[in-house]
Amino acid sequence: MLFKSLFAATALAVTAIAGTANAEYPERNITMVVPFSAGGPTDTVARLVAESMSKDLGQQVIVENVGGAGGTLGAGRVASADPDGYTILLHHIGMATSATLYRNLAYKPLEAFDYVGLVTDVPMTIVARKDFEPTDLNGLVEYVKANADKVTVANAGIGAASHLCGMMFMSAIQTPLITVPYKGTGPAMTDVLGGQVDIMCDQTTNTTKQIQGGTIKAYAVTSAKRLDIFPDLPTAVEGGLKDFQVGIWHGVYVPKGTPKEAIDKLNASLKKALTDPNVAARFAELGTAPSPDADVTPEALKAKLESEVTRWKPIIEAAGQYAD
């Protein structure tokens, strides 16, 4: 009897292992963690990509928003998830800046992940509530310098793109301002629209609709050239902010140790999503474009993250401001 049940248990275990080995990934839904609030710019990019990947993979890629601490809570959640291909992360430049800004992170950004590929590089815009007094970038600089004790700047926490861009602005005008952190710039935008906070620097994937609708004021874009969607909006450099140029690159990561088969599938699916005409058209409407195919690779994302950690480290260390 004992022998019989032992035999049956062993046979079951063998079948289960064989089943796993033969099964085609993905067999069930995939969670795509976005480390910021729903309705914000990173979320918008993720949902467009996730929708297209779902069609290709035949399983739902479900976006889960894990906002807070400048994106480090969501990234930490993926770093400690099972490396089985069912929990993935869509994050931006904050992955690189957090490596230096947070000295006590529970995970090491350069070691905790495997890479799927780059997604897009999104310009930032310097915007304000609709009734904010200044009408152009020069006026904005003068006004905030004169009212530094009153002007509030929204961001998505230390290490977020909006934080980085806000710091660049304050350093360019050599004036510290009052910052108001949110779990993402989705909710921050709600407060800019409601007039509870004055200014923000945020991705075009969050600000375009509002700028076009005239519900917020825009002063500049942080790209090297003006954008087709805003031909009248000057670049920050044109507006007089020397060297003020930044692009918010996004990538897809998986926990370290994820099987190559899963990474390859995710990569092929991400590549397809980024050539999906609907995704490309929506990106264009939002002032961005899919990363070139050669960059949608694990190697390109790894190289980008490494070079960006190296680029921002001395800048952050010179500023001497850390998240802890």
**Could you tell me whether strands 199-203 and 152-155 are parallel, antiparallel, or unpaired per DSSP bridges?**
parallel
Choice between 207 and 258, CB closer to ligand ASP = 207
Task: Please identify, among the stretches 182-190, 219-227, 273-281, 293-301, the one whose residues bind ligand ASP according to the rule CB under 6 A.
Answer: 182-190
Enumerate residues 71-100 that contact ligand ASP by CB under 6 A: 94
Q: What is the dihedral of CA 246, 250, 255, 261, to 10 degrees?
A: -140
Choice between 160 and 270, CB closer to ligand ASP = 160
Choice between 120 and 267, CB closer to ligand ASP = 120
Choice between 40 and 290, CB closer to ligand ASP = 40
Rounded to whole angstroms, the Cα distance separating 202 from 200 reads: 6
Task: Please identify, among the stretches 7-15, 74-82, 180-188, 281-289, the one whose residues bind ligand ASP according to the rule CB under 6 A.
Answer: 180-188
Judged by CB under 6 A, does residue 246 bind ligand ASP?
no
Binder of ligand ASP out of 69, 95, 161, 168 (CB under 6 A): 161
- The least distance separating ligand ASP from the CB of residue 15, rounded to whole angstroms, comes to 44
Judged by CB under 6 A, does residue 65 bind ligand ASP?
no
Choice between 229 and 268, CB closer to ligand ASP = 229
Choice between 35 and 83, CB closer to ligand ASP = 35
Residue 285 Cα distances to 93, 162, 225, 227, angstroms:
22, 21, 16, 11
> At 109, phi and psi to the nearest 5?
-50, -35
Judged by CB under 6 A, does residue 122 bind ligand ASP?
no
Number of CB atoms found within 10 A of residue 261's CB: 11
Task: Please identify, among the stretches 2-10, 139-147, 178-186, 314-322, the one whose residues bind ligand ASP according to the rule CB under 6 A.
Answer: 178-186
Judged by CB under 6 A, does residue 203 bind ligand ASP?
yes
Task: Please identify, among the stretches 20-28, 32-40, 95-103, 297-305, the one whose residues bind ligand ASP according to the rule CB under 6 A.
Answer: 32-40
Return all residues near 289 (Cβ < 8 A) that are at least 6 apart.
Answer: 120, 121, 280, 283
- The least distance separating ligand ASP from the CB of residue 226, rounded to whole angstroms, comes to 21
Judged by CB under 6 A, does residue 160 bind ligand ASP?
yes
Rounded to whole angstroms, the Cα distance separating 48 from 43 reads: 9
Choice between 43 and 198, CB closer to ligand ASP = 43
Structural contact between residues 166 and 156, judged by C-beta atoms closer than 8 angstroms: no
- The least distance separating ligand ASP from the CB of residue 46, rounded to whole angstroms, comes to 9
- The least distance separating ligand ASP from the CB of residue 322, rounded to whole angstroms, comes to 18
Binder of ligand ASP out of 185, 207, 210, 223 (CB under 6 A): 185
Query: Quick one: which of 187, 177, 180, 195 has its CA closest to 141?
Result: 177
Judged by CB under 6 A, does residue 323 bind ligand ASP?
no
Binder of ligand ASP out of 26, 31, 36, 239 (CB under 6 A): 36
Please give the residue ranges that form the binding site for ligand ASP (CB under 6 A): 36-37, 40-43, 94, 155-156, 160-162, 184-186, 202-203
